[in-house]
Structure 1
Amino acid sequence: MSEDSWAVAVDVQEATNPSTQFDFSKKVERVRGPRNIRGDINGNILPEKTENGGSKREAEKVDLAEQSLLNKLIRRSLVRNRNQVEVLQRDPTSPLYSVKTFEELRLKPELLKGVYNLGFNRPSRIQENALPMMLAQPPQNLIAQSQSGTGKTAAFSLAMLSHVNPDNKWTQCLCIAPTYELALQIGQVIEQMGALCPDVKLAYGIRGNRLERGVKLQEQIVIGTPGTVLDWCTKYKLIDPKKITMFVLDEADVMIATQGHRDQSIRIHRQLTKDCQMLLFSATFEDSVWRFAEQVVPDPNIIRLKREEETLDTIKQFYVLCREKEDKFTALCNLYGSLTIAQAMIFCHTRKMAAWLTANLTNEGHQVALLSGEMTVEQRAAVIDRFRNGKEKVLVTTNVCSRGIDVEQVSLVVNFDLPVDMDGNADNETYLHRIGRTGRFGRRGFAVNMVDSKHSMDVINQIEMHFNRRITKLDTSNLEEMESLIS
């Protein structure tokens, strides 16, 4: 079983271990995407082109916390990641260690067995570089970039389990995650990995887990959300922050996009000692995430993924000139009819446009699935599973699906609407993530952009300049030209 193989939307069963400090007398409600989360990947709301060329802000919000949970639900195994890892050491003169086997880490036998029981035969790319730093003596701080499915949760879970002293009956490791559901996911990994360590206990600092005020926790590891954990440290005095020796902050980009969580995390951090080991993880590293990380993690080692260069290498990029959505649809049908396509993903700005396109493609006889934000996280995960299993050949989606979905059979990505930011300029990061759904794992892929105005053409030019890659004009009505360009 891999890291995420148990990460499916099922009821959490009755707890048999009272040390979890959580009342499971009622089964936890099925995992649902958290609501009222402020902020999104592209600056809150994505604009949609109107018929007169303007922009209106009715496009779909991308909820980072929901996206992170969705990624965990749809991962069934480690992602085969060819991205290069860039390691920046706090002390450049120190030898750079990485490991190719878990035995090299000299883990306790029960932890080594726990790792193998999870299905990890050898360390993933992020684990090779991060684990030696996490387990180093004296302790080293770490900031690491890692997407869902790369083994990151298992890595810091192993670090916490290795770090604690079972003889000390107080909280030594503290991990915070942005939502209740994500905290439960992390806890499941720790419980599975530490199944053979009966003296190491885990408590969940999440909503609904009410403990007696002033009674110190005896659990060595606490996983929770910022608000509850802050209350446990300050209001209820259940945890002595001065005794915390390892602090893990997961999903930092989601954390700072969530109202109040950033400040709560910093308030927790301020109560810890300077000797406490700090580990921070984030899928993305925009400027706001870096500023937050620098506040929380002093003198860090840094692990980053080199992503852009690799993502575009195997993708041929084109644009098609159109006048309106009906022209776009005709071009799309011509394109799909002339290409040998395993599966295709088509991106729209709004749910309304996605629904219109899905209906028209279905009327043309295509097997089409629709993915948009009004669905629950479980419903979206089910749609993605059907698409991955080939039950539908075309997936029409809004921006909610631009990240994290790895389907080897996707050979075509179509930007029915180009990704733009709040000011109408090219949203290069979203473009990269969208077209990155094809060309996976070294396979060749195609990305086609529908251009319906001078403004859209300006966006294409901005994208070309940003990535220093030419996007070729394609006439979908000329079969011979298409075959020569795409072959």
Structure 2
Amino acid sequence: MELNGVVSAWLLSTVKVKKIKMSKQWGQKAEELEISNKVAGLGLGQKGSNQTSDTEDGPDAANPAEASLLMKIIRQGLVESKLDIEIQRKDPNSPLYSVKTFEALHLKPNLLKGVYAMGFNAPSKIQETALPTLLADPPQNMIAQSQSGTGKTAAFVLAMLSRVDATKNYPQVLCLSPTYELAIQTGEVAAKMAKFCSEIKLKFAVRGEEVPKGTKITDQILIGTPGKMLDWGVKFGMFDLSKIKVFVLDEADVMIDRQGHQEQCIRIHKCLPSTCQMMFFSATYHSAVMEFAEIIVPNPIIIRLLREEESLDNIKQYYVKCKSPEDKYRAICNIYGVITIGQAIIFCHTRKTASWLSEKMSKDGHSVAVLSGELTVDQRIAVLDRFRAGLEKVLITTNVLSRGIDVEQVTLVVNFDMPMDLNKKADCETYLHRIGRTGRFGKAGIAINLIDSPQAMEICLDIEAHFGKKIQLLDIEDAEEIEKIGA
């Protein structure tokens, strides 16, 4: 496979747009407006809770695109999911197939060679189920949920490569990612898998990539962001969207969370032929995202991971009554003074609190790392690599790390501040992902919630009711009681 260079100059040239008959234009706009109105009714991209704060005092929440890229890089090896898969389809009587080997998929020899060269010996759980559907003839549409590290990207890339007719030199596959960095990650996977398929050519449709005025794109696979793809396909007519055979939307929840992307996706989607195979992949699917996906992916097979509440079974949950931040710090000191802690993750609401706590713990002799929103992705990876290697025993973080990292030695998670949404109500999903950093790999873990206000207590009670799991009061002044939680 040939990969074109990504250059720094922006595409500046303009082309004359062909006139479109008013009736056809009006009809298409009306259809787009109808879908847009449905999307608007879902309230997508309006939560705002996923935006990283620019101030130390503001809530430091995870930027979804950065978090997704971080998890892709961290979890480049396959992580076998213990979660069961739920499959939904319009016709419950239609057969579903799964495979245990890549040979069973009857791939082209050079493509199979590329799969093995990447280190895939057997399909992962999601690949077992997804690949026979994605490679079926006639093609089937799919909406699939799978976290980073489960072989999700390799699954849809394999399907993309399998559908290409290398004798035809025009775009046949579109793959949309929410950001430049995520598109490059996907392209790298495609290039590795197609290592022995030199006749297949890939092009990035991302910022800085130029195509001369009046040029028709001849690469069979385009991977990029919605804005650039829309410019090339609709605005400048550099390829024919009606000839696209496969449309992939990766990181769907992140895509929809970013302002403007959902409208751009709709405009691209409306230009695709009815025979085009549609694939939606994402690590998470809120109900509103699922509704959006089903609006633009007709008759899909839906693969979902069952909710992971069972991960709480290995975790002992406690709350401690405190009066101030200093009181919270003394509670942490008492815990460390009584029981042996392997590694711990402490979650704070703001960067200012995280910095203050880090300074205090460091002065008391703890080896501490801090992970917060002002760090670049590369800096975050460096911090996490050191923590995973055991070079620091305490990781103090904001919501930039509510999910995705598995460190076997983490035995304690502390909510220095309780997780809340924009309405200052309990954020149960974030709580689940936070305390899920302990109790991994079937081992027992401890979660401590530090409560310093009636509001924090209300959040704690709401979380307890939501999961149906008791969060017990812990007397932090009673050494014997603390000792019992570590037993």
Contact 2:70–2:381 (8 Å) recurs in 1: yes
Tell me the equivalent position of 1:21: 4
Deviation at 1:287, TM superposition (A): 2.7
Q: Distance in 1 between matches of 2:398 and 2:420?
A: 13
Tell me the equivalent position of 2:305: 305
Residues 264-273 or 435-444, more deviating: 435-444
Tell me the equivalent position of 2:371: 371
Tell me the equivalent position of 2:112: 112
Q: Identity of counterpart residues, as a percentage?
A: 56
Contact 1:40–1:63 (8 Å) recurs in 2: no
Deviation at 1:369, TM superposition (A): 0.2
Deviation at 1:135, TM superposition (A): 0.5
Change (3 A) 1:112 1:43: closer
Contact 2:83–2:308 (8 Å) recurs in 1: no
1:268-296: CA deviation from partner (whole Å, max 9, x where unpaired) = 01100111000001111113312320222
Contact 1:78–1:149 (8 Å) recurs in 2: yes
Tell me the equivalent position of 2:473: 473
Residue 140 of structure 2 aligns to a residue whose secondary structure is coil
Using structure 1 for the length normalisation, give the TM-score. Answer: 0.89
Q: Between Structure 1 and Structure 2, how many residues are aligned?
A: 451
Q: Distance in 2 between matches of 1:303 and 1:431?
A: 24
Deviation at 1:40, TM superposition (A): 7.0
Deviation at 1:223, TM superposition (A): 0.3
Tell me the equivalent position of 1:212: 212
Tell me the equivalent position of 1:127: 127
Tell me the equivalent position of 1:421: 421
Describe how 1:245-394 pairs up with structure 2 within 5 A: 245-394=245-394
Change (3 A) 1:191 1:109: same
Name whichever structure is richer in helix by fraction.
Answer: 2
Change (3 A) 1:82 1:145: same
Tell me the equivalent position of 2:235: 235
Q: Distance in 1 between matches of 2:209 and 2:290?
A: 32
Using structure 2 for the length normalisation, give the TM-score. Answer: 0.89
Tell me the equivalent position of 2:181: 181
Describe how 1:86-105 pairs up with structure 2 within 5 A: 86-105=86-105
Contact 1:145–1:303 (8 Å) recurs in 2: yes
Aligned pair 1:461/2:469, yes or no? no
Residue 187 of structure 2 aligns to a residue whose secondary structure is helix
1:110-139: CA deviation from partner (whole Å, max 9, x where unpaired) = 111111111111111111111111111111
Deviation above 4 Å: which 4+ runs of structure 1? 23-26, 38-41, 43-46
Residues 290-299 or 342-351, more deviating: 290-299
Deviation at 1:24, TM superposition (A): 5.2
Deviation at 1:297, TM superposition (A): 0.6
Q: Letter of the aligned partner of 1:100 in structure 2? A: K
Deviation at 1:41, TM superposition (A): 7.6
Change (3 A) 1:45 1:68: closer
1:311-360: CA deviation from partner (whole Å, max 9, x where unpaired) = 21211111111111111101111112222221100000000000000000
- Alignment RMSD, CA only? 1.9
Contact 2:180–2:207 (8 Å) recurs in 1: yes
Tell me the equivalent position of 1:438: 438
Contact 1:44–1:61 (8 Å) recurs in 2: yes
Q: Distance in 2 between matches of 1:255 and 1:220?
A: 23
Contact 2:89–2:302 (8 Å) recurs in 1: yes
Deviation at 1:45, TM superposition (A): 7.3
Contact 2:309–2:432 (8 Å) recurs in 1: no
Residue 313 of structure 2 aligns to a residue whose secondary structure is coil
Q: Distance in 2 between matches of 1:139 and 1:378?
A: 39
Q: Letter of the aligned partner of 1:367 in structure 2? A: S
Q: Distance in 1 between matches of 2:144 and 2:48?
A: 19
Q: Distance in 2 between matches of 1:44 and 1:218?
A: 38
Contact 1:233–1:240 (8 Å) recurs in 2: yes
Describe how 1:403-414 pairs up with structure 2 within 5 A: 403-414=403-414
Q: Letter of the aligned partner of 1:233 in structure 2? A: G
Give unpaired runs (5+ residues) of structure 2: 10-44
Residues 366-375 or 336-345, more deviating: 336-345
Contact 1:45–1:57 (8 Å) recurs in 2: no
1:57-109: CA deviation from partner (whole Å, max 9, x where unpaired) = 82113211111111122224112321111111232101221111111111111
Contact 2:172–2:245 (8 Å) recurs in 1: yes
Q: Letter of the aligned partner of 1:245 in structure 2? A: K
Q: Distance in 2 between matches of 1:361 and 1:400?
A: 21
1:34-56: CA deviation from partner (whole Å, max 9, x where unpaired) = xxxx877846579x9xxxxxxx9
Give unpaired runs (5+ residues) of structure 1: 1-16, 27-37, 49-55
Tell me the equivalent position of 1:7: none
Deviation at 1:181, TM superposition (A): 0.8
1:213-251: CA deviation from partner (whole Å, max 9, x where unpaired) = 333221111101000000111122111111001000001
Change (3 A) 1:25 1:470: closer
Residue 395 of structure 1 aligns to a residue whose secondary structure is strand
